[in-house]
Amino acid sequence: MATIIDGVKVAAEVRGRAAEEVRELAAHGVTPCLAVVLVGDDPASASYVRMKERDCAEVGIESRDHRLSATTSQQELDDLIDALNADPAVHGILVQMPLPEHLDPESVIERIDPAKDVDGFHPESLGHLVRGLPGFRACTPAGVMEMLRAYDIDPSGMRAVVIGRSTIVGKPMALLLLEANATVTVCHSRTKDLEAVCREADLVVAAIGRPKMVDASYIKPGAVVIDVGINRTDEGMVGDVDFAAVEPIASAITPVPGGVGPMTRAMLMANTVAAARSAAPREQG
Ligand code: NAD
């Protein structure tokens, strides 16, 4: 029987610590503020934004809601980002992805002031991660690292396999595990004999986007299994891991829902508070 890594619980602890820091900042006259930009009316994006705003309210972060129509031009979006970059009261800027087709996500990400890049997607943030320098880490992989810490799982010396090489999850995940002294292999859609590679691993992180793809044949008995996947299926939300099949052989595993998802949101709060803290001396002149 595996330990079930409770993302809801660890996320609440992360928000609790962020709320404490908010109170400390209040003593210095600073209220952390996150600007949330939502373009268009995709229902999933709208629901993510609502949850993020609810988290902000709980932690004591001011959230500023910028809802733009689906026909917003690149220039209008750029102008809004420029205004948010220039506003000293705004500490973090989050542009909810995906954007409507006619808008360029890369130029939007690059336009955000790296000091306000609480999503950790800006090339400067990623560059700092590669170089091992302080900076904003992407929320999902940072959330995974926080969960491992909370459950005293030290990746040092472990063989870790990350399945998925996206810029928002797989690549930064691999770099964070490397920073934590794991021996990291990154797998993807072209990896040959994926099951055999995964079976070597002490720690498997699945960030694929394929419901229940990782079954027991991928997992070495006693391995730690982190499921980043969020897949909406007829049976509701499921991960990339076949939980029922893998749980009996893993030593620890994250459920979906209630695993990595809540951690991603909690790390956004932590990053926003950190952004406000870094900006505080500047604000105080
Ligand atoms: P993506 O589509 O950008 O990347 C998926 C990766 O999986 C690619 O690198 C691809 O090479 C790899 N892949 C696809 N099919 C494969 C196969 N058959 N075998 C091996 N590798 C394969 O997705 P993403 O943005 O990295 O997200 C991955 C999953 O994580 C999705 O389900 C997404 O919804 C979820 N996600 C969850 C959170 C969270 O907070 N829990 C955050 C971001 C993404």
Tell me, yes or no, whether 106 and 168 share the same domain.
no
Active-site residue 96, yes or no?
Answer: yes
pLDDT-derived band at 141 (thresholds 50, 70, 90) equals very high
Helical ranges in 95-138 per DSSP H: 105-111, 123-131
What is the atom index within ligand 1 of the atom nearest the CA of 163?
21
- Is 52 labeled as catalytic in the residue annotation? yes
DSSP 237-250: EE-SB-HHHHTTT-
pLDDT of residue 285: 45
**273 in any annotated domain:** no
Specify the residue with its C-alpha closest to ligand 1, atom 41. 261
Q: How far is the CA of 38 from the centre of ligand 1 (A)?
A: 22
Catalytic residue flag (residue 119): yes
Whether pLDDT at 282 is above 80: no
Which pLDDT band, with edges at 50, 70 and 90, does 281 fall under?
A: low
Q: What is the pLDDT of residues 77-109, one digit of tens each?
A: 999 999 999 999 999 999 999 999 999 999 999
CATH of residue 43: 3.40.50.10860
Cα distance from N-terminal residue to C-terminal residue, the chain: 55
Please tell me the total count of domains within the chain.
2
Range of the domain at 58: 29-113
Q: Which pLDDT tens digit goes with each residue over 199-253?
A: 999 999 999 999 999 999 999 999 999 999 999 999 999 999 999 999 999 999 9
Q: What is the pLDDT of residue 284?
A: 52
| % of the chain exceeding 70 in pLDDT | 98
Catalytic residue among 55, 116, 117, 119: 119
Q: Is residue 179 part of a domain?
A: yes
Q: Ligand 1 center to residue 166 CA distance, Å?
A: 7
